[in-house]
């Protein structure tokens, strides 16, 4: 007998029938003798619908009220799933984040979990009940409802698994595991039997939304066995592993390719090329709480420099306003923005022991006539910024070039 934390995503609980199917599945696990804590997302589309309503009220919705609103989506599914479980003869009890007491900081809409009170959950498990917890939400010190950022139910699942020392955290979703790249973009994508935490962290942060990045961070930190599986198909899914031996011996050079459509580019051109200028440009950006990702600086023959950086698309206009002020101060020639770019990244721990991966990547993009605008690398990833219209072509050609296509 084991303790399992199972998380079911939005599409898996998207209709009454699917909630009933999840209830049947959970009841079966219970009958096999497992203890179960089930985390659910809001029904698919619900969180987006609520965000839409909020924006009709206020252009920039008040963050505290936003969390009160968004948390209702998950509250609906926990109650419906418990009813469906009871209809299957399976005793169950629902908890909102606040009722469990998933304590978070007060950073509304992107709160971080600080602690979890496991007392009520343990008591219910001991009494033979299935415990159903609302994903994506918690409560701060003052009792205000908080949410954990989009996709945050994954993090609730992993955090509960860590707190309860569960045998496994199972993330059930609408794909049967983690693929070499988004299977909705590349039909030749292959399911990975295993992927290391390190690689999964890069894939998640670089744009593969199959797992929220914080969930992967948490699982790595607390050593939570984590598996991604299909909600309604049999299969072993993908295990996220720390097995070092596996990562160096069997691992191909590239494990996966991520596509991020959320970035935009800001360029400030014709600024004096003197020490300290990068800091003069970028400090006001971070002071405005805008995260900068890729940065490139070019020096022209006339001793002026251009600095280009990327930010989240939602922050592009704010970043432009900050740059307009900087441009005035430094006497820059111009400030321009471009939100028709994407970031494509290849990821693999095998890169550490192979040379020529970058040139292979650049060559295959050149063969498709795709211009690389910016490049950034780390030990286990290479990212490039390219024009958005080439996104899918680039992912497909890199997938083939690095031998990731599945056999026909």
Q: Which stretch binds ligand ADP (CB under 6 A): 10-18, 64-72, 288-296, 341-349?
A: 10-18
Residues of this chain, 135-174, that bind Mg ion according to CB under 5 A: 151
**Does the protein bind ligand ASP through residue 152 (CB under 6 A)?**
yes
Q: Least distance (Å) from Mg ion to the CB of residue 151?
A: 4
State the Cα–Cα distance between residues 294 and 385, nearest whole angstrom.
Answer: 9
Q: Least distance (Å) from ligand ASP to the CB of residue 378?
A: 27
In 252-276, which positions are buried (b, 16+ CB within 10 angstroms) versus exposed (e)? ebbbbbbbbeebbbbbbbebeeeee
**Does the protein bind ligand ASP through residue 218 (CB under 6 A)?**
no
- SS3 category, 178: coil
Between strands 102-104 and 113-116, the pairing is: antiparallel
**Does the protein bind Mg ion through residue 207 (CB under 5 A)?**
no
Which among ligand ASP, ligand ADP, Mg ion, none contacts residue 210 (Cβ within 5 to 8 A by kind)?
ligand ADP
Tell me whether residue 27 or residue 259 sits nearer to ligand ADP (CB atom): 259
Question: Residue 299: beta bridge partners?
Answer: 305
- E-assigned strand segments in 185-291: 194-196, 226-230, 238-241, 256-260, 263-272
Q: Which stretch binds ligand ADP (CB under 6 A): 85-93, 99-107, 175-183, 242-250?
A: 175-183
State the Cα–Cα distance between residues 271 and 323, nearest whole angstrom.
Answer: 12
# chain residues binding ligand ADP, by CB under 6 A:
19
Tokens 């343990």 found at: 122
Between strands 145-147 and 256-260, the pairing is: unpaired
**Does the protein bind ligand ADP through residue 135 (CB under 6 A)?**
no
Tell me whether residue 73 or residue 138 sits nearer to ligand ASP (CB atom): 73
**Does the protein bind ligand ASP through residue 10 (CB under 6 A)?**
yes
**Does the protein bind ligand ASP through residue 370 (CB under 6 A)?**
no
CA torsion 319→202→5→76, rounded to 10°?
Answer: 30
Phi-psi region of 144 (alpha: psi -120 to 50; beta: other; left: phi over 0): beta
Q: Which stretch binds ligand ADP (CB under 6 A): 125-133, 172-180, 264-272, 345-353?
A: 172-180
Tell me whether residue 191 or residue 265 sits nearer to ligand ADP (CB atom): 191
Decide if 114 contacts 50 (C-beta within 8 A).
no
DSSP H or E segment with residue 133: strand 130-134
State the Cα–Cα distance between residues 393 and 356, nearest whole angstrom.
Answer: 22
Residues of this chain that interact with ligand ADP (CB under 6 A) are 9-12, 41, 151, 173-175, 178-179, 181-184, 208-210, 256
Residues of this chain that interact with Mg ion (CB under 5 A) are 9, 151
Residues of this chain that interact with ligand ASP (CB under 6 A) are 9-10, 41-42, 47, 73, 135-136, 150-154
């Amino acid at each position: 007998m084991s303790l399992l934390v199972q998380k079911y995503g939005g599409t898996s609980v998207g209709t009454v029938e699917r909630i009933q199917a999840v209830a049947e599945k959970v009841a079966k696990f219970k009958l096999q003798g497992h203890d179960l804590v089930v985390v659910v997302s809001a029904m698919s589309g619900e969180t987006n619908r609520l965000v839409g309503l909020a924006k009709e009220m206020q252009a920039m919705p008040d963050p505290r009220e936003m969390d009160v609103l968004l948390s209702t989506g998950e509250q609906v599914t926990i109650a419906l799933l418990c009813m469906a479980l009871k209809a299957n003869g399976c005793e169950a009890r629902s908890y909102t984040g606040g009722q469990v007491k998933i304590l978070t900081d007060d950073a509304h809409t992107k709160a971080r979990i600080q602690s979890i009170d496991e007392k009520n959950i343990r008591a219910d498990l001991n009494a033979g009940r299935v415990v159903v917890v609302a994903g994506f939400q918690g409560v701060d010190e003052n009792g205000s409802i908080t949410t954990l950022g989009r996709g945050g139910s994954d993090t609730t699942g992993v955090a509960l698994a860590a707190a309860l020392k569960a045998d496994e955290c199972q993330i059930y979703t609408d794909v049967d595991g983690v693929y070499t790249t988004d299977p909705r973009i590349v039909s030749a994508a292959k399911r990975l039997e295993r992927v290391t935490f390190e690689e999964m962290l890069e894939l998640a942060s670089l744009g593969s939304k199959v797992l929220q990045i914080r969930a992967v961070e948490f699982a790595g930190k607390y050593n939570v066995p984590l598996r991604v599986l299909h909600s309604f198909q049999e299969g072993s899914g993908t295990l996220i592993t720390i097995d070092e031996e596996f990562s160096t011996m069997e691992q191909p050079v590239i494990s996966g390719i991520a596509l991020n459509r959320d970035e935009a580019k800001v360029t400030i051109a014709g600024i004096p090329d003197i020490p300290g200028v990068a800091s003069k440009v970028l400090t006001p950006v971070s002071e405005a709480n805008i995260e900068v990702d890729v940065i490139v600086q070019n020096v022209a023959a006339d001793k002026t420099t251009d600095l280009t950086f990327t930010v989240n698309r939602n922050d592009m206009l704010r970043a432009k306003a900050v740059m307009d002020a900087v441009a005035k101060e430094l006497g820059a020639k111009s400030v321009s923005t471009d939100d028709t770019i994407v970031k494509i990244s290849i990821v693999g721990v095998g890169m550490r022991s192979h040379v020529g991966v970058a040139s292979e990547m650049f060559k295959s993009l050149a063969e498709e006539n795709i211009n690389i605008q910016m490049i950034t690398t780390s030990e286990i990833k290479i990212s490039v910024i390219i024009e958005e219209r080439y996104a899918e072509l680039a992912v497909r050609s890199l997938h083939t070039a690095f031998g990731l296509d599945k056999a026909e």
